[in-house]
Amino acid sequence: MSVKEDWLTGIYFLGDILRTAIVGIHQLPRIPETLWLRLLGRGTVQQRAIDEISLLPPNHPFQKATLELIYNLRENLKINQNLEEDDRELIMRLEPLYQQDREQAKQEGRQEGRQEGRQEGERLVVENLLKVRFGSLDEELQPIIEPILALNPEEFTPLLIQLSREELIQRFSNVNI
């Protein structure tokens, strides 16, 4: 086995002909590039790696990708009935991180749902006001809905009530969204 100077500590090569290396996970430096490998370690090496992941900001790409991989590992380990003690500890240790990530995803989903619901509600208000005032949504009124929705409800509501059909079409037909 040999160590190459331009490689990290903890990586040992079995010769150029074999093109094989052995990784001593517990010997790897504690840097972001080795985080995933260190997660596969045991004991304190693994615990430190989990701690590092938990300290990353929620929007950090390493944390998102790692939590997805951890989720898959967790599910695979749960299927196996004969788990080793280390694997059970890993699942228990990762469970709070996973739950935190899922809760954040739920919150983001709720916010998106509220936003989409609000936008859909505004669209219905605009369409209904146009239908009530002008009888139907014909070919001339349909294209002005999006430009109208670009305004706040406080801005578009008085316009929909006060302007004539021709004024609305003229005002919102040439608007770039």
pLDDT tens, 27-65?
999 998 888 888 888 889 988 988 888 888 877 877 777
pLDDT at 19: 86
Q: Could you tell me which residues come within 8 angstroms of residue 104 by beta carbon, excluding any fewer than 6 positions away?
A: 58
CA distances from 62 to 92, 169, 177 (A): 21, 50, 36
Domain ranges of the chain: 1-30, 32-116
Tokens encoding 79: 């299927």
Chain centroid to CA 88: 27
- What is residue 21's three-state secondary structure? strand
pLDDT at 175: 64
**Upper half-sphere CA count for residue 1 (Cβ side, 13 Å):** 7
Percent of the chain at pLDDT exceeding 90: 10
pLDDT digits (tens, 9 = 90+) for 92-135: 777 787 777 778 878 888 888 888 888 888 888 888 888 888 88
Q: What b/e sequence results for 142-166 when a residue is b if at least 16 CB atoms lie within 10 Å of its CB, and e otherwise?
A: eebeebbbebeeeebbeebeeeeee
- What is residue 23's three-state secondary structure? strand
Alpha-carbon distance of 118 to 111, in angstroms, equals 10
pLDDT at 161 over 70: yes
